[in-house]
Amino acid sequence: MAYVYQVYPKKRRSIFDSLSLNTLLIILNVVLFIIFTILVKFNFISWDFIAIKPANILEGKYIWTFLTSMFMHAGFFHLFVNMLSLFFAGSLIEKIIGRKRYIWFYLFSGIFASLFFVVMSLFFSSDFNAYAVGASGALFGLIGLLMLLTPNLPVYVMFIPIPIKMKYAAPGMLILLWAISLAGNISIGNTAHLGGLIAGLIYGLFLRSKYKNKIKYIQKRFS
């Protein structure tokens, strides 16, 4: 008896297939930062079309900025610091919870952080007409999640040469940034950072209650 084998050509893999989702997010952040910067510089669009501004949102305008503001930054240094943080925190989170959960959680954290920023502007009039851009809200979501999933993970914070456990580093970073903004009168989206951290803690509590054994293993693995 003769058997006939049909040979199918191997599917070509693009360069994007070999990259992690976190790496693709970093690339997207950089590309959109360049595009948005050029569009604003040459007056094709204004900051209102990209950045979160509470006054606009409360009037029902530029609702899409909940998403676009996550991929715009105030400058190259702002972009560099956030992407460096995303490289380390995001890579770990993606490996722990998987690609699909990671992208939805990242977007949820960023949008929740912006929403929290808008709501808090009702109580702090100085923020009412302020613009907010950057991946910081989503980043603090990742940090809040790591705070619960890997509380004893040693990390380095803002060029401090001594490793600090994540459960102390997470709130410490938030307090430090708040202190810097108050002392130096620097415009930092502290309420957005807080909102992102809350989003991370909420999702972390959900995962800890649903996957108790897995979370215990992860905590031992990274302690």
pLDDT at 181: 73
Reported as half-sphere exposure (CB side, CA atoms, 13 A), residue 133 has a value of 21
Report how far residue 154's alpha carbon sits from residue 134's, in angstroms, rounded to the nearest whole number: 25
Domain ranges for the chain: 17-221
pLDDT tens sequence across 177-195: 888 777 766 667 889 999 9
Contact 200, 145 (CB under 8 A): yes
- Selected residue with higher pLDDT from 20 and 160: 20
Q: What is the DSSP annotation of 111-147?
A: HHHHHHHHHHHTT-GGGTT--B-SSHHHHHHHHHHHH
Q: Distance between the two ends of the chain, CA-based, in angstroms?
A: 60
pLDDT at 4: 44
Q: Ranked by mean pLDDT, which of 121-125, 157-161, 199-203 comes out on top? A: 199-203
Provide the CATH topology of domain 17-221: Rhomboid-like fold (1.20.1540)
Report how far residue 83's alpha carbon sits from residue 77's, in angstroms, rounded to the nearest whole number: 10
Residue count of the chain, please give it. Answer: 223
Nearest to 121 by CA among 174, 76, 58: 58
Q: Catalytic positions, please?
A: 136, 193
Average pLDDT of the chain is 88
Residue 3's pLDDT band, with cuts at 50, 70 and 90, is very low
pLDDT at 36: 97
Global confidence as pTM: 0.87
